[in-house]
A and B are shown apart, each in its own frame.
Chain A
Amino acid sequence: MWIYEKKLQYPVKIKNPNPKLAAAMISQLGGPDGELAASMRYLHQRYGMPYNEVVGILTDVGTEELAHLEMIAAIIYQLTRNISIENIKGTMFEPYYVDHTTGMYPIAASGVPFDMKYVGVKGDPLADLAESQAAEQKARVTYDNLIRLSDDPDVTDPLRFLREREIVHFQRFGDAMRVVQDKLDGKNFYAFNPAFDKKTR
């Protein structure tokens, strides 16, 4: 089970609303490399993972991504609070406003709603961990892009924290990859799938 803790992992305190910036930030909520995709990817990859250490890291990183999902939602919530229709007209936020007002809907900055097609679960430890490592780098690039777009230090500060987490998670998944490869090297030179081909475990 999961337990909700009533605080953000890192503070989000944005003084000035900015719907235009919110329209860019929304991609880390429901975009292809966003936090929702990240948590869904790691939490579901766990079931096909035959090694305890790797299930552990997927559980803990997947759980941390849920905390990041709430941080991103907090950024968007605070960027769109107390805004008038005049703040919205003619900005990138206008199409989102038509469909969702200032509600929180997981969608990419390009306007595509969240899709599990962003997430790869192959049921093979090497394939899934390679996917997860790539996902962390893609999320890091998205944060790079958002930091370049942000002209508000109140927004940039939590984005820097989140970017740093992508780097640490990439590192830990790299360690997990070594764990898997060490186990495969013994009797499984040809990388048969240890999650399915039972004799290779």
Chain B
Amino acid sequence: MDKFNPAMSQGCSCERNDDLLTQLRQMDFAIVEVTLYLDVYPDCCEAKEYLETMRAKRAKVAAEYESKHGMLTMYGVCGESSDKCAHWPWHYEAN
């Protein structure tokens, strides 16, 4: 009974963590922050400009990420990632 191990690790060992994911997270964080700000200060031109710049940068990085690791959303770019290799976001290997 002491060998009972209900939580076997899943998926293969190929890790998704790379610079692209870090960059994408950083840009998404910036976009979330400035969006929350613009919700309550909708007339701030500086924030609007920043949001547009970050959105353009984010689109580039997201496309590159998706072509390498597979779709982020159901509307994403079809990439190399196969089901065999897929990690869900809560897996150690995905972060």
Give residues in A with beta carbon < 8 Å to B.
3-14, 53, 56-57, 60-61, 64, 70, 73-74, 77-78, 80-86, 101-102, 168-169, 172, 175-176, 179
Contact = CB atoms under 8 A, between A and B. Distances in A.
A29 to B, nearest CB: 12
Interface string B1-44: 11111111100000001000100110011001101110111100
Contacts of A84: 2-5
Tell me what chain B mostly uses at the interface: helix, strand, loop, or mixed: loop
Interface in B59-74: 70-74
A14 B28 CA distance: 23
Nearest to A61: B36
B4 to A, nearest CB: 5
Nearest to B36: A172
B21 A13 contact: no
A81 B17 CA distance: 19
Given A9-B28, A86-B2, A81 B7 contact: yes
B40 A176 contact: yes
A121 B74 CA distance: 32
Given A3-B74, A6-B72, A81 B39 contact: no
A5 B73 contact: yes
Nearest to B74: A3
B77 to A, nearest CB: 13
A83 B4 CA distance: 9
A7 B4 contact: no
A9 B70 CA distance: 17
Given A10-B25, A175-B41, A85 B2 contact: yes
Contacts of B25: 7, 9-11
B92 interface: yes
A193 to B, nearest CB: 21
Given A4-B73, A6-B71, A56-B39, A82 B8 contact: yes
A60 B8 CA distance: 36
Contact of A73 (B8, B41, B90): B90
A8 B2 CA distance: 33
A11 B24 CA distance: 12
A70 to B, nearest CB: 6
B40 A85 contact: no
Given A3-B74, A3-B75, A83 B90 contact: no
